[in-house]
Structure 1
Amino acid sequence: MIDLLTAPGLHDVPHGFAGRRGGVSLGIHAGLNVGLGSQDDRAAVLRNRDLARDAVMPGGQLVTVHQVHSPDVVTVGSAISDADRPAADAMVTDRPGLLLGILTADCVPVLFADTAAGVVGAAHAGWKGAIGGVTDQTIAAMEALGAQRDRMACAIGPCIGRASYEVTLDFAERFERDDADNVRFFTAGRLGHVQFDIAAYVASRLARAGVGRIDLLEEDTYSQPDRFFSYRRSCHRGEADYGRQVSMIGLSG
């Protein structure tokens, strides 16, 4: 059984944040690993992607991008083959039957919808993309399709939590130079380090952009190994690779 989380603000839209439960992968990738870039058996990954798609939109077409930690967004008008995935970190569409999928393993997945306009979006916000404005660019791309930001509902899915996300002081200073108010997203940690609340930071970017509703699922990927893949946890364990989970949103026909 796939563990599929949903957001109240997106209840009218086919969507879901899948965890690692369910699926056919084994070993360190055990469960619903959908990462084409992982070292997992490709047939297992493709089967997992089908299972994830069918949990949200049976018969739909799952569309993903080659994520590169950028603020870049693509507008999707038709299905994209796995071999032709463009380098980007967000997608928007107004075409029914397409299921936009964002892969994460600690980074922040954000799903967007303006149901009145019939426009949806999905963004992968690692720290580079987040500070670079990937969510702002997603909103702008949705507006180009007729959406309005004050009507948008956004949901922030499972990602690494503040208690698990230790960063250096130099890292924090990068955010504080961008905006002095960003100091509020960092709390004291061990000597020379602080704890970063990246979900709250992304939520603040969405709020500042003027979106109508923001839901935070507040699920920490690092601290729940039975439920979520985590890049940082895999590194700390000395594992050779890690799985990825998928967050999906689309428009029904």
Structure 2
Amino acid sequence: MHTWHWHNWEGLSYLSCSLLKDWQHGFFTHQFWPMLPPELTKLLHPEASAYRLKQVHGNTVLTPQEIDQQLCLIEDDLALADGLVSEQPLQAIWVASADCTPVLIGDVQTGQVAALHAGWRGTAKQIVPQAIARLQAQGSKLDDLRIAMGPAIAGEVYQVSVEVAAEIGASIISGDDPHKIVQALHALPHSPLLADPEPGRVRVDVRQVNTLQLQNLGISVEQIAIAPYCTYQTPEHFFSYRREQEKKVQWSGIVSGRIGE
């Protein structure tokens, strides 16, 4: 069983996961607001370079080099994407979330990492498999990946329409009819759906959908860890957009390297 640890930095709390013990990483709480990745990176590894994105709820995954190229072209502060994959050691890559799932991935052989913002839209567009395909293109093998999903809104409190549930579900079940997709999701052994008393609504566990996508790729459950925290139900630690309707975030980041460095 993978364990999650609380760390204290000058009175502020953040989480780490034993599955990612080979990397400096953290799922930070709202206590760090409004600190940004350049400051947070110093806490993880003072020599690492920080990279972040302007997140747009899509499935684009970029490398730091691609970010630099894109920024040269558009003369903007941040590249538009929802995932980052490192290319060399000492790259600290960051995503922000406030109910969506922050996903951190490490490769135990290459030391390379990925950080992803997987809300329901990104999950429907399979951002995590997209990132894994990029890691594989850079030499990763599926068996070497370790994947941690941080604090996010839990299925029991995440009410969505049947149409949204079907859009998410279409990432793991084929079909065109929303109601048939939802029925098939309900029938799964570890269903990501829970019933909702309101007609035309269901509750969906987005982290479980991502887990099922990973299993469809051939990744084992032993390679996946899910934080036992719900952003909506843990106001003492996490912002929740659904709870507060405020555009505040917590950051999750990981520093690339090679084992033993």
TM range (shorter): 0.7 to 0.9
Amino acid of the structure 2 residue aligned with 1:230? S
Classify 1:83/1:2 alpha carbon distance in 2 versus 1 (closer, same or farther; 3 Å): farther
Indicate which of 229, 234, 245 corresponds to 2:239.
229
Q: Which runs of 5 or more residues in structure 1 are unaligned?
A: 22-31, 34-44, 236-240
Cα separation, 1, equivalents of 2:66 and 2:58: 22
Q: Give the corresponding residue for 1:67.
A: 55
Q: Give the corresponding residue for 1:58.
A: 46
Task: Find out whether 1:152 has 2:145 as its counterpart.
Answer: yes
Say whether the 8 Å CA contact 1:154–1:211 is kept in structure 2. no
Q: Give the corresponding residue for 1:182.
A: 185
Q: Secondary structure at the match of 2:94?
A: strand
Say whether the 8 Å CA contact 1:64–1:100 is kept in structure 2. yes
Amino acid of the structure 2 residue aligned with 1:4? Y
RMSD: 2.1
Indicate which of 207, 223, 226 corresponds to 1:199.
207
Question: Any residues of structure 2 matched to 1:1-16 within 5 Å, and which?
Answer: 1-16=11-26
Say whether the 8 Å CA contact 1:74–1:88 is kept in structure 2. yes
Q: Secondary structure at the match of 1:233?
A: helix
TM-score where L is the length of structure 1: 0.82
Say whether the 8 Å CA contact 1:175–1:182 is kept in structure 2. no
Give identity over the alignment, percent: 28
Cα separation, 1, equivalents of 2:49 and 2:153: 28
Q: Secondary structure at the match of 2:57?
A: coil
Indicate which of 76, 88, 93 corresponds to 2:64.
76
Q: Give the corresponding residue for 1:26.
A: none
Deviations 1:200-228 (A, max 9, x none): 11111122222350011121001111100
TM-aligned CA deviation for residue 177 of structure 1: 4.9
TM-score where L is the length of structure 2: 0.79
Cα separation, 1, equivalents of 2:215 and 2:17: 17
Q: Secondary structure at the match of 1:171?
A: helix
Kindly report structure 1 stretches of 4+ aligned residues shifted beyond 6 Å: none
